[in-house]
Structure 1
Amino acid sequence: MPSGKPRPPGQLIGEVTHFFSRIQVIVVKMGKGRLAVGDKIRIQGKSTDFTQTVRSLQIESVDVRSARAGELIGLKVEREARVGDKVYKLV
């Protein structure tokens, strides 16, 4: 029997700290967990809600295959995101 509580959209891994609209890149402060190229993510906020596959990650303008808690990462996005939006890893 459903509990009536909404299911979390995935594992919360970070929060958007910057959005560069011209190049469609967000900066994410990784709060916990690990994120790798090929993972599916959901970006959700007050007026944001979309999913996509991670196609590239950068740390300090250098391409990397994965990132972990505590790191600031650059991530190309397919749609607009906003500062404060949450980033979830879909499992």
Structure 2
Amino acid sequence: MRFFDKTSVAAIKLDFGELSLGDTVRIKGPATDFVQPVEAMEFDHQPVQKALRGQFTGIKLSQPAKPFDLVYKVTG
């Protein structure tokens, strides 16, 4: 993951499954741990509703993240 401070956007690659607007994600790292809904998502600087496995996408975060933090989709 790469985090852009000025825009509070994390660039992530989906290794498994898919991610949609409204899904809940957990950002977890050595100094980071928070949960939030996906409220804004982009691909190639265009808004998207869904990202699929293997795609890179940008998601707006409510808190800062670090380069090697992991992003998990919260289910159930």
Name the TM tier (shorter chain): over 0.9
Instruction: Identify unmatched segments of 5+ residues in structure 1.
Output: 1-15
**TM-score, length basis structure 2:** 0.95
The Cα shift of 1:61 comes to 0.4
Question: Could you tell me which of 54, 64, 75 is aligned with 1:80?
Answer: 64
2: CA distance, partners of 1:44 / 1:63 = 25
Quick check: 1:34 aligned with 2:18? yes
The one-letter amino acid paired with 1:24 is: S
The one-letter amino acid paired with 2:7 is: I
The one-letter amino acid paired with 1:82 is: K
Quick check: 1:63 aligned with 2:47? yes
Aligned identity (percent) is 35
2: CA distance, partners of 1:65 / 1:22 = 23
SS in 2 for 1:51: strand
Question: Could you tell me which of 14, 22, 42 is aligned with 2:6?
Answer: 22
Q: What's 2:27 paired with?
A: 43
The one-letter amino acid paired with 1:83 is: P
Query: What does the per-residue CA deviation read over 1:1-28, in whole Å, with 9 as the maximum and x for residues that have no partner?
Result: xxxxxxxxxxxxxxx1x11101111100
For the aligned residue pairs, the C-alpha RMSD in angstroms reads 0.6
2: CA distance, partners of 1:79 / 1:56 = 14
SS in 1 for 2:22: coil
